[in-house]
A and B are shown apart, each in its own frame.
Chain A
Amino acid sequence: MRRIFIAIAALGIIAAGTAWVISSPRPLDSAAIAGLHGEAEAGRVVFLAAGCGSCHRGPGRDSDPLILSGGRSFASDFGTFRAPNISPDPVHGIGGWSQTDFVNAVMRGISPEGAHYYPSFPYTSYIRAEKQDIVDLHAYMMTLPPDATPSEPHDLGFPFTIRRGVGLWKALFLRDGWVMTGDLTQEETRGRYLFEALAHCGECHTPRNALGALRRADWSTGAPNPSGTGRIPDIAGPQFTWTAFDVSAYLSSGLTPAFDVVGGSMADVVSNLQQLDTAELDAIAAYVLRLRN
């Protein structure tokens, strides 16, 4: 009896140790980041494409989309997430972060202290970004107005309060490969980069499994609104009959082919993307049309 007890205890320790190793943060090679130089002007385009302001601008601050004071709430099945302050304030924002800290946060979901961020922060998409783009983004964000609003804690239920558990989640679900593979034109490739990496479109348009990970097999086929009611539309199925012109015009104007006007969280997406070159929107449209195949 005692021997069985020891065996179970030993197995338990091994399992816990394995889980601890699997769940440990895996930052990027800092040498690969330290040598890069960020350009703020290029970073503005990344900022708009990545939609950082949609979640991180303050509540009631729609007229100041560049003050990233945080504080917006996002209800989910796991609890309520609150976007933190990512303005350049050195105390309450990210003004004290190094370039390497920033890239690890955005592309790996790891804080400067080595804690995991929850995947409500779409590093699950940004992991596919070019490091240079994220370094440019950092340079741009450091030029935005600092704000001293303290970040608010998330309001999650147990066991989701254990951040180390996110490490196991990452081991299961965090992937850096493209969802759409095969032969793509240059335009479609650019569209894939914008859609799957920076603009993180799949995060809302793709359904999630019970653990909140995207079901890549059902990519962009529509999903329940991840933080609210109603559904985010299917843009990959046969009933989605928009032309490339329709998609590009929608992203630049917010008008559907039937001249309904965009609303909800997509309105934020449009207000960001419409500031990009038309060629970028055409590229997203070219990619979206390939989803149907």
Chain B
Amino acid sequence: MTFTRILGTFALGAALAFPALADENPAVAARQGQFQLFVHNFGALGGMVQGRMEYDAALAQTAADNLFHVTRHDQSRLWPDGTDSMSIDGTRAKPEIWDNLDDFVTKFVALQQAAENLQAVAGDGLDAMRAAFGPTAGACQACHQVYREEAG
């Protein structure tokens, strides 16, 4: 498979994953990619917390480092007006986000703080990591509870 064909396959996959969005709302596609990276790293830690996989200090630290950095991604171009769930298909971001931007930002900053706390202890053993993991999940939930639609 040539490099061009591999690229083409990726592009097709992206088009299937985000129908109409990749073209019309690249910000939404990027936003959703950001959340997938949250889950990709958060999930590795969660797997250890729930005993689905062995605690691995190096992997835990890497995942927590990633989470720290992805939560620092500048948000200013990811949430343009008109990209809420009432305006377009393919997003679960409720319009209430834009009605309560201050609160949304406060909750996002709380997530950043939780990710920082998690990063500080992720490599220090399962118990230490678990203690910081719960508040991080709580920070995710605080937003999901009020600003995310039920799945379509």
- Tell me whether A4 is interfacial, beta carbon within 8 Å: no
Asked whether, in the complex, the Cβ of A267 is within 8 Å of the Cβ of B141, the reply is yes
Residues of B within 8 A of A225 (CB): 150
Residues of B5-63 at the interface with A, using a CB-CB cut-off of 8 Å, are: 39, 42-43, 46-47, 50
- Tell me whether B85 is interfacial, beta carbon within 8 Å: yes
Asked whether, in the complex, the Cβ of B42 is within 8 Å of the Cβ of A259, the reply is yes
Residues of A within 8 A of B148 (CB): 263-264
A228 to B50, CA, bound (A): 32
* Distance from B98 Cβ to chain A, minimum over Cβ atoms (Å): 16
- Tell me whether A249 is interfacial, beta carbon within 8 Å: yes
Partner of A264, one of B42, B46, B85, B150: B150
Chain A interface, DSSP helix/strand/loop, else mixed: loop
Given A254-B137, A261-B141, answer yes or no on A229-B50 (Cβ-Cβ < 8 Å).
Answer: no
Partner of B50, one of A231, A249, A260, A261: A249
- Tell me whether A120 is interfacial, beta carbon within 8 Å: no
- Tell me whether B2 is interfacial, beta carbon within 8 Å: no
* Distance from A273 Cβ to chain B, minimum over Cβ atoms (Å): 14
Chain B interface, DSSP helix/strand/loop, else mixed: helix
- Tell me whether B78 is interfacial, beta carbon within 8 Å: no
* Distance from B48 Cβ to chain A, minimum over Cβ atoms (Å): 11
Nearest A residue to B149 via CB reads A230
Residues of A2-44 at the interface with B, using a CB-CB cut-off of 8 Å, are: none
Count the A-B residue pairs with Cβ separation under 8 angstroms: how many? 53
- Tell me whether A233 is interfacial, beta carbon within 8 Å: yes
Asked whether, in the complex, the Cβ of B149 is within 8 Å of the Cβ of A229, the reply is yes
Asked whether, in the complex, the Cβ of A255 is within 8 Å of the Cβ of B92, the reply is no
Nearest A residue to B50 via CB reads A249
Nearest A residue to B45 via CB reads A259
Asked whether, in the complex, the Cβ of A231 is within 8 Å of the Cβ of B137, the reply is no
- Tell me whether A262 is interfacial, beta carbon within 8 Å: yes
Asked whether, in the complex, the Cβ of A260 is within 8 Å of the Cβ of B39, the reply is yes
Asked whether, in the complex, the Cβ of A231 is within 8 Å of the Cβ of B39, the reply is no
- Tell me whether B69 is interfacial, beta carbon within 8 Å: no
Residues of A within 8 A of B39 (CB): 258-260
Partner of B144, one of A249, A258, A263: A263
Asked whether, in the complex, the Cβ of B145 is within 8 Å of the Cβ of A267, the reply is yes
- Tell me whether A232 is interfacial, beta carbon within 8 Å: yes
- Tell me whether A253 is interfacial, beta carbon within 8 Å: yes
Partner of A258, one of B43, B137, B145, B151: B43
Partner of A261, one of B85, B92, B137, B149: B137
* Distance from B102 Cβ to chain A, minimum over Cβ atoms (Å): 15
Residues of A within 8 A of B144 (CB): 261-264, 267
Residues of B within 8 A of A260 (CB): 39
Asked whether, in the complex, the Cβ of B92 is within 8 Å of the Cβ of A259, the reply is no
Given A259-B42, A260-B39, A264-B145, answer yes or no on A230-B140 (Cβ-Cβ < 8 Å).
Answer: no
Residues of A within 8 A of B43 (CB): 258-259
Interface centre among B42, B46, B137, by most chain A C-beta atoms within 10 angstroms, is B46
A69 to B127, CA, bound (A): 39
Asked whether, in the complex, the Cβ of A261 is within 8 Å of the Cβ of B140, the reply is yes
A143 to B132, CA, bound (A): 34
Query: What 1/0 mask marks residues of chain A from 222 to 258 whose CB sits below 8 Å from any chain B CB?
Result: 0001001111110000000000000001000111001
Residues of A251-284 at the interface with B, using a CB-CB cut-off of 8 Å, are: 253-255, 258-264, 267-268
* Distance from A278 Cβ to chain B, minimum over Cβ atoms (Å): 13
A255 to B50, CA, bound (A): 10
Asked whether, in the complex, the Cβ of A259 is within 8 Å of the Cβ of B150, the reply is no
* Distance from A234 Cβ to chain B, minimum over Cβ atoms (Å): 11
Given pairs A228-B150, A263-B143, 6 additional interface contacts (CB within 8 A): A228-B149, A230-B152, A249-B50, A254-B141, A259-B46, A260-B39
Binding site for B on A (CB under 8 A): 225, 228-233, 249, 253-255, 258-264, 267-268
15 A/B residue pairs, CB under 8 Å, sorted by A: A228-B149, A228-B150, A232-B150, A255-B50, A255-B137, A258-B43, A259-B46, A261-B144, A262-B145, A263-B143, A263-B144, A263-B145, A264-B145, A267-B144, A268-B145
Closest 3 CB pairs of A and B: A263-B144, A230-B150, A259-B43
